[in-house]
């Protein structure tokens, strides 16, 4: 379909215009050749007629006695007799002598002579067919003439002239056809160099749309088509990576959901068995209910995280901003993980600030951001690791920065620009769905801020949340984000404020 459409467009546009121009040029050249040759013949006839008229005036001035003799001599010795014929006509319009020596048949049509008789200057011209032959004729009637030699007529055949004209027109037409052939040949090659790769791109795109992300286009040229092939291949790679991350996400979430559900089911069955025979162990009952409640809360957090992700994807997340103390919110988030840090033998340090730092934002969503980041820091740190949480005014005027630094496994340099991508998990051995950081990143952006990540593999990671302190700026960012949730991220998670 693409080949037909592009070729048809080329035929109607480019080739059609070229054809019209060439036809117009050939017609114009043909007319110019015809007019030029005919004008040349006419000028030659007129020149000879003027010469003859001058000679006749001279002969008449020498005397009527020698006039007829001079005229006969002029006609018989006419030096252009090989090209044209000179005729002398009497008072009645009869040809009495010719330069060829042969008299035309009686009653031969002579439109030029009739025109000369009717004109005031005694001249007439005619171009057309006379006696079955195409000719050009000129008649002159001198003011001083005799009855025997009253008018003089020059006639030239146009048969050879027309042959030359037609030959040149044929050559011009051939050149035009050669140009058309060259244009068609070269353009066909060029169109094929566009249409065939475009067709291949279309086929590859359809296969990719069907889920065959391993489809690859071979780059044959280093031009726009080659760039398009690279783009399609990159798109396939990205879609393949996204598909893999999505599958890993589903697998991870399924596992994350299955673990607490298994624990809940196991303890529920244990409690049920222990109560069925009337022997209830209070300690076991207390322990079991504690696990059930803990795992239920864990499930609730996971489901809420998934719901938040869904709201962000569909643009349905609504923020409820207010002026809040960022230090207090951060402290509440740290308290949430104190017991977990002790249980996992990890050091969680909160570096308080003497300043009262306020920002304009949604309390619950910002606390969710802090919780997700601290949770990641604990998750990717081993026993004995240290997580430091700190808040202060940024060196960038008008902003507050919250930093969470850990001594965990770190992030490889080639993965640093992907960690905020939805579904992405840099380390599959760690728990998590792979959307917590993506959700945090979106929430921070909606507040007009930025989430920045610095990391070195084997050393640790530093996550910085930069938020605007100015209420007007934050409010404008929130309002804009609620209307248009999509945004353009800069590489490596380094959004500009």
pLDDT, tens digit (0-9, with 9 covering 90-100), for 21-34:
888 988 999 999 99
Residue 332 sits in the same domain as residue 477: yes
User: What is the span of the domain harbouring residue 352?
Assistant: 319-493
CATH of the domain at 441: 3.30.565.10
In a domain, 188, yes or no: no
In a domain, 422, yes or no: yes
Mean pLDDT over 411-420 rounds to 80
Is residue 427 predicted with pLDDT exceeding 60?
no
Length of the chain: 497
What pLDDT does residue 1 have?
42
User: What is the b/e burial string over 239-265, where b = at least 16 CB atoms within 10 angstroms of the residue's CB?
Assistant: ebebeebeebbeebbeebbeebeebbe
Number of domains in the chain: 3
Q: Which of 141, 165, 189 is at the close of a domain?
A: 165
Domain contains 189:
no
Are 328 and 309 contained in the same domain? no
Domain boundary among 128, 145, 165: 165
327 vs 280 pLDDT, higher one = 327
The tokens describing 169, both together, are: 């027109």
Whether pLDDT at 269 is above 60 = yes
Tell me the percentage of the chain whose pLDDT exceeds 90. Answer: 16
Q: Confidence band (pLDDT; 50, 70, 90) for 361?
A: confident
Choose between 278 and 86: higher pLDDT. 86
CB 446 within 8 A of CB 316: no
When the pLDDT of each residue in the chain is averaged and rounded to a whole number, the result is 81
pLDDT of amino acid 80: 87
What number of CA atoms fall less than 13 Å from residue 236's CA on the CB side?
Answer: 22
Please give the model's pTM, rounded to 2 decimal places. Answer: 0.49
Between 215 and 130, whose confidence is greater? 130
- Asked, for residue 453, whether it belongs to a domain, the answer is yes
Pairing mode of beta strands 358-361, 322-325: antiparallel
CA distance 84 to 79: 9
Cross-strand pairs, 406 = 387, 461
- The fraction of the chain above a pLDDT of 70, given in percent, is 86
Q: Report the CATH number at residue 251.
A: 1.10.287.130
Q: What is the pLDDT of residues 459-482, one digit of tens each?
A: 899 999 998 887 777 777 777 766
35 & 95 share domain: yes
Mean pLDDT of 86-115: 87
In the structure, what pLDDT confidence band is assigned to residue 230 with cuts at 50, 70 and 90?
confident
One domain for residues 100 and 139: yes
Domain presence at residue 252: yes
Q: CA angle 383-384-390, nearest 5°?
A: 110
Residue 219 has pLDDT above 90, yes or no: no
Q: Which residues contact 435 (CB under 8 A, 6 or more apart)?
A: 249, 305, 306, 309, 422, 423
Of 484, 369, 382, 381, which Cα lies nearest the Cα of 420?
369
- Quick: pLDDT tens for 163-177: 999 999 999 889 888
460 contacts 271 by C-beta, under 8 angstroms: no
Question: Of the residues 313, 333, 362, which one is the last residue of a structural domain?
Answer: 313
- The answer to whether residue 216 sits within a structural domain is no
Looking at the structure, tell me whether residues 250 and 324 fall in a common domain: no
Which has the closest alpha carbon to 453: 373, 382, 396? 373
- In a shared domain, residues 276 and 308: yes
For the ranges 205-209, 427-431, 432-436, the lowest mean pLDDT is seen at 427-431
Residue 391 shares a structural domain with residue 464: yes
Within a 13 Å sphere around the CA of 483, how many CA atoms are in the beta-carbon half? 5
Task: Print burial letters for 362-384: b (CB count within 10 Å at least 16), e (below 16).
Answer: bbebbbbbbbbbbbbbbebbeee
- Per-residue pLDDT band for 11 (boundaries 50, 70, 90) equals low
Tens digit of each residue's pLDDT (9 = 90 or more) over 86-95: 999 988 888 8
| pLDDT tens digits, one per residue of 441-458 | 888 888 888 899 998 888
Q: Are residues 385 and 478 in the same domain?
A: yes
pLDDT for res 167: 92
pLDDT in tens, 371-397: 889 988 998 888 989 999 998 888 777
What is the reported pLDDT for 140? 92
């Amino acid at each position: 379909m693409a080949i037909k459409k592009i070729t048809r467009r080329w035929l109607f546009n480019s080739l059609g215009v070229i054809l019209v121009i060439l036809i117009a040029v050939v017609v114009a050249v043909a007319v110019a050749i015809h007019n030029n040759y005919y004008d040349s013949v006419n000028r030659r006839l007129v020149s000879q007629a003027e010469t003859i008229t001058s000679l006749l005036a001279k002969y008449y001035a020498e005397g009527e006695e020698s006039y007829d003799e001079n005229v006969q001599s002029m006609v018989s010795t006419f030096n252009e007799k090989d090209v044209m014929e000179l005729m002398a006509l009497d008072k009645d319009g009869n040809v009495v002598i010719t330069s060829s020596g042969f008299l035309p048949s009686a009653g031969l049509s002579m439109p030029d002579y009739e025109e000369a008789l009717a004109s005031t200057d005694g001249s007439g011209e005619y171009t057309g067919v006379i006696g079955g032959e195409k000719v050009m004729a000129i008649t002159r009637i001198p003011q001083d003439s005799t009855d025997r030699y009253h008018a003089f007529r020059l006639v030239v055949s146009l048969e050879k002239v027309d042959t030359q004209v037609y030959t040149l027109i044929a050559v011009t037409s051939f050149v035009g056809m050669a140009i058309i052939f060259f244009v068609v040949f070269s353009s066909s090659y060029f169109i094929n160099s566009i249409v065939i790769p475009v067709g291949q791109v279309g086929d590859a795109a359809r296969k990719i749309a069907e889920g065959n992300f391993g489809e690859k286009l071979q780059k044959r040229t280093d031009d726009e088509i080659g760039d398009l092939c690279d783009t399609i291949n990159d798109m396939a790679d990205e879609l393949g990576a996204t598909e893999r991350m999505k599958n890993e996400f589903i697998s991870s979430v399924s596992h994350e959901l299955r673990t607490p559900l298994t624990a809940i089911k196991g303890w529920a069955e244990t409690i049920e068995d222990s109560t069925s025979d009337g022997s209830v162990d209070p300690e076991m009952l207390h322990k079991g209910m504690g696990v059930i409640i803990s795992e239920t809360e864990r499930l609730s957090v996971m489901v809420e995280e998934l719901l938040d992700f869904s709201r962000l994807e569909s643009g349905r997340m609504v923020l409820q901003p207010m002026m809040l103390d960022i230090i207090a919110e951060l402290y509440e988030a740290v308290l949430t993980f104190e017991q977990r840090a002790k249980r996992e033998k990890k050091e969680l340090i909160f570096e308080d600030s003497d300043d009262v730092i306020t920002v304009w934002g949604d309390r619950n969503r910002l606390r969710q951001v802090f919780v997700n980041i601290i949770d990641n820091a604990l998750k990717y740190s081993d026993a004995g690791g240290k997580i430091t949480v700190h808040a202060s005014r940024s060196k960038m005027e008008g902003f507050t920065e919250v930093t969470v630094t850990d001594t965990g496994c770190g992030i490889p340099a080639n993965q640093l620009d992907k960690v905020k991508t939805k579904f992405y998990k840099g380390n599959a051995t760690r728990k998590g769905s792979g959307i917590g950081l993506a959700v945090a990143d979106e929430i921070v952006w909606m507040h007009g801020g930025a989430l920045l990540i610095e990391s070195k593999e084997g050393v640790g990671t530093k996550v910085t949340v930069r938020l605007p302190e100015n209420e007007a700026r934050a409010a404008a960012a929130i309002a804009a984000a609620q209307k248009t949730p999509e945004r353009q991220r800069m590489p490596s998670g380094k959004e500009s404020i």
